[in-house]
Structure 1
Amino acid sequence: MFPQLAEVTSLHLEKRGASPIQVEIGIKKGLPLFHLLGNASQSMKESRDRIRMAMEASGFSFPMDTIVVNLTPSHLAKKCAFLDLAIAIGILKATGQAKFSFPENTIILGSLSLNGNVLGERDLLPLLWFRNFSETDTVILPGSLRGEIIPQGNYIFLESLSDLSFPSTVEKTAKCEIPLIGEPEESWSSAFLSDSQSAALYQLCIAALGRHHTLLIGNPGEGKTMLAKMLSSLLPSWTKEEVESTFKGSLSTVLYGRALEVGKRPFRSPHHTCTEQSLVGGGTPIQPGEISLAQGGILFLDELGEFKEKSIESLREPMEEKRIHITRVNGKEILPADCMILGAMNPCPCGNYGSKKLCNCSHQRIRSYLRKLSGPFLDRICLVISLFSNDEKRKVQIKEKDMKQKLEDSFQFRQERMASESWKRKPNLIKEDLLEEYCKKYKINNFSFRKRRDWMSLSRTVADWNLSSEIEGKHFLEAFEMISSGSWLQEFC
């Protein structure tokens, strides 16, 4: 006797998008067995008892024959439980118990509880956002997602399997975009800083505006970590273009570390004992590291001098390329890494070098401590901000609301400028002859090519901070003063 066959379609989320999964059902006379084929995980194989109980609780009969479920393509590892509903509906179609008729191009998503209720957490939403549906596609979803923001399409919402006994209506949703979470509450309303700390915060804001890699170096207790955390609450809001590119073009950030909604820009602060792989990514399967999870925000490396030298050196390529290529035996991935690297460290092992306290470190010991930061790594650091202890009083009041608004206005001005036709390909374009003029005027011949490029980029960012469409001489001079302030560190390294 020929087996009873049926086929339905579901979705599976992987790093390159939401790919269709064909759920093939075959039922034949034989022992009451349930075979789940197609590279299904052990957790998925538990669904057979769940599906049987859900079908019987909903008034349907579960066939006491040999049931074979094949999930194609078989080379994809299936780990989620969102195929429960598709398998159950496939069994109902194969046994002729399905009295309903769905449109041809129907995609089924949802898991089942033992009482037959159709479940679906918000983890289902990426499957919808990363799949381009056609006008003829219809998606069956759990009823709990009816109130969520979902992309435009045709949907049928099911509360339980028993709803399949009644005619279903197709609901159409209007076009919408990836949801944005409201800005979080202020973490600090105002703060009193010294003149040095105020100047450092100003430079950090400019660095955040242009995502220039920065190093804070100074004695313990001078506010390096405090300023970094203050900066995290000043970061500007996401733009629609960034949302599309970061969350729709880079699925790894959704799969490993972020929800679908876009809220505050990330501020990642790994401990200094973290490994090279946790920083830049890797493993089997390949997973993104901290530098990828900080996409669009800040990767803060506190106590940079205590990080393993190999971990620090692994950041050199992504700092330059704004992305990282990871190749393993079982595959390769290109992960995003467009973030601001912000490091903080002491000037010596005891931390008292340059302060009024006695430093017990020898010159050789200081050199050994600072040489964890190699010359090529430091060459990629655009700004070095020094914070050494002094007798300054904290009398400068900084209001978070004012600083955040200033950074937001500058960021919007920068986005509008870069959106213009002349800046699309070279957002940091600066006339070379003007740069050469200033190099000759101030006898600047010790900058590497990368430092000269950083100077150009920083000058453009300073102009954006001042809402200037043209780079003026004062912007060049201010950028030069900022970028050359860390030249003393090269003497040790």
Structure 2
Amino acid sequence: MKYASLLVPGFSSAGQPVRARIESATRTGIPEFRISGIPPARARDMAERIQCAFQMSGLRPGHKNIVVHIEGNLDAYFLEELDLPVAACVLGALGYELHGTEEGSSYLGKLLLSGHIRPLPDLIRYLVAARMLGIESLLANGSEMDTRSLSAYYRLASPGKNGHGENSADPGRSMARGRIVLCLRDLLRFSTAPPPIQPEYSDFLKAKSHGRTDGEKAPDLVVDAVPERDAHSHGQILHSFLSLNSDGDSASLPYSRFVLRAAVAAAGARHSLLCLGPPGCGKTTLAGLIYALLPPMDESELKRIFLSSFYEIEGPGRIARPFRRPHHSATRVALVGGGTPVRAGEVTLANDGLLLLDELGEFRRDVLQALREPMDSGEVHISRGHHREALPARFWLVGTANGCPCGQLGSSRRCQCTAQMVRQYRVRMLGALQDRMSIELIMESENERCDLNSVETWYNSLIGIQEDRWRQEARKAEEGRNTHHTGRFNAELPVGRCQFAGLEAEKRFQMETEGWTNRKRNGIRRLARSMADMSGAAEIQMEHMLEALRYAGLTESIVTSPENGKAPWQSD
């Protein structure tokens, strides 16, 4: 009996990287090919594909009884990609010498009946996962899109700065080395086993079958020359946004200064934003502006985004963050994850990106309340009997909704709602979620505009100060002087780092927020820190605290105007 084993990278049903182990044993006996460890129907299909690929490639196992066992908590949709590693493991047990048998190497890909290997979808995702699992080299078939993805990754990760402000090392430390194999015969080295029998190919297959001779090493997956990474400029992104969403004035944005400072704070410091207003006032367009303003990614974020496979390549060398926009009919499982087997929800698919909940008032209440734990911890914990998953859920949250049930509150049209109806609408829509919304923005139909240069100045100041603070804390953590390393953005700062300058500002804050929850108060402190950073101030002054208070608790005063004749400005 001969035995061979192999470790391969894969993904669980929840999208998390997991390691699978493949074992193969051959013995003399009745010819049979049995695969265990996966559902019987999939095992039969895999065995048929591998046997056909062997025969078409001239590889004859002879009169052998072959047993294969696959162990690992793998997604059912991923099992087809195990054809190549199972075939390689069987060939190793049969005595063939293969490329990729050295320690730290593995295989991945689905075999076609002709013996060719199908290009692996999202190859770069598997390269990152392989490196995380300790695999340094992965033999698979790639596509042109994979080359573009690698080019973009190397452009963003290699010449720039990492999260600690240091020069990044070789991006290969973040992903495994990809080696291209086009067909099963490309795996073969010189073999001490009997030479394979040449298959009877048709003329078409002869012309396209094997591009390399036996023994020729599988080449690495290479990318084009990578240019130096330019400084991340959001000015160009803003102008692109304006060309699609403005009336031709590229020097200003169609929002007031009050609205745009809230948008910059939400995008640059990861503050959650709730935007209320009548239809057509620009709520959804503002969410698109916030997405265009999301900060540049560091190397760790790039890895997580590639693992999710929900990224887009926008031109040479630019990888966009995820932008998820679930419909208001989405269920709780669709939003936060769950099911059997466990699947990632929208909050996980939006990890390190933007989650836009448009028409927030139309979502079911239980769906919205399920966001409370992910917004606090940045994770979703799902338990299903013996199976448990902890899924990442660190995202930018933007919610938009009408200001009242009829939707006309804040517009020039007459609102048909009473103050009690508006209050019930708000409570049903938000509930306990309101404490977790750092910015509550009331938009009206207006004709104000704000200079684009001001927006860029606020944004660059906010991002620059946060990055400096992040680098200093990371350096202290590496030196052992700071055991409580905080997050990258102001929304993740400890409250102790967001104290006001002067006793007068603190007293005013306590008076203005009397009766509010500690969570809401802490959110206002962090928002005031962002306002100070946008102004270039080292300390949080009274003006920054008052500005943050303007964005907090605004929905407490949502009532219909006296012009509508339905209710006074004061609440009941």
On whether the aligned pair clears a TM of 0.5, the verdict is: yes
Query: 2:11 — aligned with what?
Result: 14
Partner of 2:197: none
For 1:307, the equivalent position in structure 2 comes to 363
Deviation, structure 1 residue 47: 2.5
* Bigger Cα displacement from structure 2, 60-69 vs 291-300: 60-69
Describe the SS at the equivalent of 1:116. coil
Q: Is 1:231 matched up with 2:231?
A: no
Contact residue 128 and residue 151 of structure 1 kept, 8 A: no
Question: Structure 2 unaligned runs (5+)?
Answer: 151-170, 191-213, 477-481, 487-492, 560-569
1:373 counterpart residue number: 429
User: RMSD of aligned C-alpha atoms?
Assistant: 3.9
Once the two structures are superposed, the pairs formed by residues 276-287 of structure 1 within 5 Å of their partners are 276-287=332-343
Deviation digits for residues 101-147 of structure 1 (CA, Å, limit 9, x no counterpart):
86552533333222222333243433332234899966544476996
Match of residue 342 from structure 1: 398
C-alpha contact 2:107 2:139 (8 A) present in aligned 1: yes
Is the CA contact 1:383–1:486 (under 8 Å) kept in the aligned structure 2?
A: no
Which amino acid in 2 is paired with 1:336?
P
Q: Secondary structure at the match of 2:374?
A: helix
- Residue 385 of structure 2 aligns to which amino acid in structure 1? V
Q: Quick check: 1:465 aligned with 2:534?
A: yes
Match of 2:279 among 220, 223, 246: 220
Which of residues 511, 521, 526 is equivalent to 1:452? Answer: 521
Q: CA offsets, 1:381-414, max 9 Å, x none?
A: 222111234xx435x2655x98467525532331
| Aligned counterpart, 1:414 | 466
Shift of 1:284: 1.5
**In the TM superposition, what are the counterparts of 1:142-221 in structure 2 within 5 Å?**
142=141, 149=150, 151=172, 157-163=180-186, 164=188, 166-169=214-217, 186-189=240-243, 191=246, 197-221=256-280
Amino acid at match of 1:274: A
Are residues 35 and 171 of structure 1, via their aligned partners in 2, closer, same or farther at CA, if it must alter by over 3 Å?
Answer: same
Residue number among 460, 470, 478 corresponding to 2:547 in the alignment: 478
Partner of 2:565: none
- Partner SS for 1:344: strand
- Secondary structure of 2:338's counterpart equals coil
Partner SS state of residue 428, structure 2: coil
Of the structure 1 ranges 192-201 and 461-470, higher mean CA displacement relative to structure 2 is found in 192-201
Partner of 2:209: none
CA contact (8 A) 2:92 2:98 kept: no
**CA distance in structure 2 between the partners assigned to 1:320 and 1:81 by the alignment:** 37
CA contact (8 A) 1:298 1:340 kept: yes
Tell me the residue number matched to 2:85: 86
Higher strand share: 1
> Hey, what's the Cα distance between the residues in 2 that align with 1:213 and 1:272?
18
- Structure 1 residue 51: Cα displacement: 1.9
User: Which secondary structure does the structure 1 equivalent of 2:79 belong to?
Assistant: coil
Question: CA 1:427–1:219 in 2, change beyond 3 Å: closer, same or farther?
Answer: same
Residue 120 of structure 2 contacts residue 140 of structure 2 at CA under 8 Å; is this kept in 1? no
Give SS of 2:344's match.
Answer: coil
The answer as to whether partners of 1:41 and 1:77 remain within 8 angstroms in 2 is no
Distance 1:214 1:133 in 2: 34
Does residue 31 of structure 2 align to residue 52 of structure 1?
A: no
2:447 corresponding residue in structure 1? 393
Q: Per the alignment, do residues 348 and 216 of structure 1 end up closer, same or farther by CA in structure 2, a change over 3 Å counting?
A: same
In 2, Cα distance between equivalents of 1:51 and 1:197: 64
Specify the alignment match of 1:29 in structure 2.
29
CA distance in structure 1 between the aligned counterparts of 2:436 and 2:518, rounded to whole angstroms: 11
Residue pair 1:142, 1:158 contacting (<8 A) in 2 also: yes
**What secondary structure sits across from 2:172 in the alignment?**
coil
**Counterpart residue type for residue 80 of structure 1:** L
Q: Does 1:437 align with 2:489?
A: no
Q: 1:266 to 1:12 in 2, by over 3 A?
A: closer
CA separation of 1:188/1:67 partners in 2, compared to 1, >3 Å: closer, same or farther?
Answer: same
Q: State the alpha-carbon separation in 1 of the partners of residues 382 and 117 from structure 2.
A: 39
Q: For the residues of structure 2 that align with 1:156 and 1:468, how far apart are their CA atoms?
A: 51
Tell me which residue corresponds to 1:119: 118
Say how many residue pairs are matched.
474
Match of residue 275 from structure 1: 331
Change (3 A) 1:492 1:294: farther
| Secondary structure, counterpart of 1:467 in structure 2 | coil
The Cα of 1:369 is off from its aligned counterpart by: 2.1
- Show structure 1 runs of 5+ residues with no match: none
Corresponding letter in the other structure for 2:343:
Q
Residue 308 of structure 1 and its aligned partner are, at CA, apart by: 0.8
Q: Secondary structure at the match of 1:450?
A: helix
In the TM superposition, what is the alpha-carbon distance from 1:372 to its structure 2 partner? Answer: 0.9
Counterpart Cα distance in 2 of 1:102 and 1:439:
64
Secondary structure of the structure 1 residue equivalent to 2:21: strand
Q: Does the 8 Å contact 2:410/2:443 carry over to 1?
A: no
Partner secondary structure for residue 49 of structure 1:
helix
Match of 2:107 in 1: 108
